[in-house]
Amino acid sequence: MKLLTLNFVSCARKACKSSTSSFPLHPRDAELELVEMEFNPQFLQNMLPKLEWEALQIICNELALPTLPSSTPAASDLFESGGEGSSPAQPTQVARDLHKLLLETTIREGLLVCSNCGHEYAIKEGIANFLLPPHLV
């Protein structure tokens, strides 16, 4: 599972819907893998306003990844400013770093734990198991 996705999943249990502590889910015993993906700065720019930066910081911290800047980059941080008029804006290192973090860093094996209800979702071969036993739906 990409770290991007982890910034959007929440606990599936009905009882956790209204609780703020059901997001983000916390990785445990996570085995990370870098999976290359085509660089798509436009997609990143489109996603910026939707990111929960604080949750991303928490996750990076829990996964012992390098510390992130204190606030979400702005769209203007993703592309070099100015330049020769008509040529398309060149993506910045910030954009490349963000791409690597959100789209290429994946959890291959491990658990995701809800801190509201304690439910553990297993990730195997990158696939997260979100099937709930009927009594928890």
Partner 1 sequence: MSRPEDILPPDIYYSSTTARKYTTSSRIQHIQAQMAQRALSLLNLTTPSYILDVGCGSGLSGAILSSTPPEAGGPHVWVGMDISADMLSVALERGGEDPDTGNSDDGSEEGEGEEECQGDLFLADAGQGVPFRAGTFDAAISISAVQWLCNAESSIETAEGRLKRFFEGLYAALRRGGRAVCQFYPRDEGQKRMVAQAAIRAGFGAGLLEDGAGTKAVKVYLVCTVGGGDVAGGDITGVVEGMEGVEVDDTRRRVRRGGEKGMQKGSKQWILRKKDRMERKGMVVKATSKYTGRKRKIAF
Binding residues for Zn ion (CB under 5 A): 11, 13, 16, 22, 114, 116-117, 119
132 contact choice in Zn ion, partner 1, none (CB below 5 to 8 Å, kind-dependent): partner 1
Q: State the number of CA atoms in the 13 A half-sphere of 31 facing the CB.
A: 9
Say if residues 11 and 44 touch (Cβ distance below 8 Å): no
130 interacts with partner 1 by CB under 8 A: yes
Say if residues 79 and 12 touch (Cβ distance below 8 Å): no
Of 26-34, 61-69, 91-99, 120-128, the window that binds partner 1 (rule: CB under 8 A) is 120-128
Instruction: Report residue 44 as tokens.
Output: 């990143």
50 interacts with partner 1 by CB under 8 A: yes
How far is Cα 103 from Cα 34, in angstroms, rounded to an integer? 9
- Shortest separation between residue 58's beta carbon and partner 1, angstroms: 14
- Shortest separation between residue 120's beta carbon and Zn ion, angstroms: 10
Q: Which of 67, 85, 93, 125 binds partner 1 (CB under 8 A)?
A: 125
Tell me which amino acid residue 97 is: D
